[in-house]
Amino acid sequence: MNAVQSAGMADRTTFIVVSDHGFKQVHNQVNLAAAIGDEAYVLPEGGFALVYAKSKDSLPALRTKLAAVEGVADVVGVDRFAEFGLPDPARDPQMADLFIVPKNGYAFGGRTGGPVSTPVPSTTGAHGYPNRDPELDAIFIASGAGIERGKVLERIRNMDVAPTVAALLGIHMPADIQGHAMEEILKNHPRQ
């Protein structure tokens, strides 16, 4: 920002800081494969795990076993996949049979042996949790030319960032895009 001011460009420069997701602090790592053995294949993604049962007949027992594992908050079956925005395995054969959500302070790891739950350094974080968790909200900060000073937005959608940048640049986006410009923060926008 100092360089922009020194160059005399502050009146025509907009600063936008964004991230693609947040992180949650983790104190314990849970290794689901160590808990269930070879009954299923586990794909851990930090803030969630996908479980592929070797036999569909074993799913009820597998759900019960996974629900009892320390650090597991929710074992989501196909009947609740839509609630989490997950694809239906009947339409997408690559989708797992179960979606596992950890408790706060836990993340899933990939070890197949050893202890099921192990402490991790207090500085460890993970991502991949369900997107409705507010701790996973991304950063969005906009300041400078074209931005209303002092405006605070509660939550934004990532898909609204590009249309907002396009509006600042005077570029018209196609009408069929999913996002929209965040007009409430734009100075001199035609709808204000």
pTM for the full predicted model: 0.73
Whether 69 and 7 map to the same domain: the answer is no
Q: Which residues pair with 119 in a beta bridge?
A: 28
**Which pLDDT does position 189 carry in this prediction?**
58
Query: Is position 190 within any domain?
Result: no
Q: In degrees, to the nearest 5, what angle opens at C-alpha 63 toward C-alphas 56 and 100?
A: 105
Residues 16 and 32 in one domain: no
DSSP conformation letters of the chain: -HHHHHTT-GGG-EEEEE-S---EE-SEEE-HHHHHGGGEEEEE-BS-EEEEES-GGGHHHHHHHHHTSTTEEEEEEGGGGGGGTPPPTTT-TTS-SEEEEEPTTEEE----SS-SEEE--TT-EE----TT-GGGPPPEEEEETTB-TT---S---GGGHHHHHHHHHTPPPPTT-S----GGGBTT-TT-
Same-domain status, 83 and 151 = no
- Separation of alpha carbons 108 and 101, rounded Å: 9
Domain end point (choices 96, 124, 152): 124
Tell me, yes or no, whether 33 and 102 share the same domain: yes
Residue 176 within a domain: yes
What does the pLDDT read at residue 20? 79
Task: Please give the pLDDT value at position 25.
Answer: 87
**Confidence at residue 192, expressed as pLDDT on a 0 to 100 scale:** 37
Residue 191 in domain: no
The predicted pLDDT at position 73 comes to: 96
Residues 49 and 81 reside in one and the same domain: yes
Determine, yes or no, domain membership for 130: no
In a domain, 10, yes or no: yes
Residue of 132, 107, 117 lying closest to 46 (CA atoms): 107
Letter for the amino acid at 81?
A: F
Question: Which domain range does residue 156 map to?
Answer: 2-20+138-185
Which regions of the chain are under pLDDT 70? 189-192
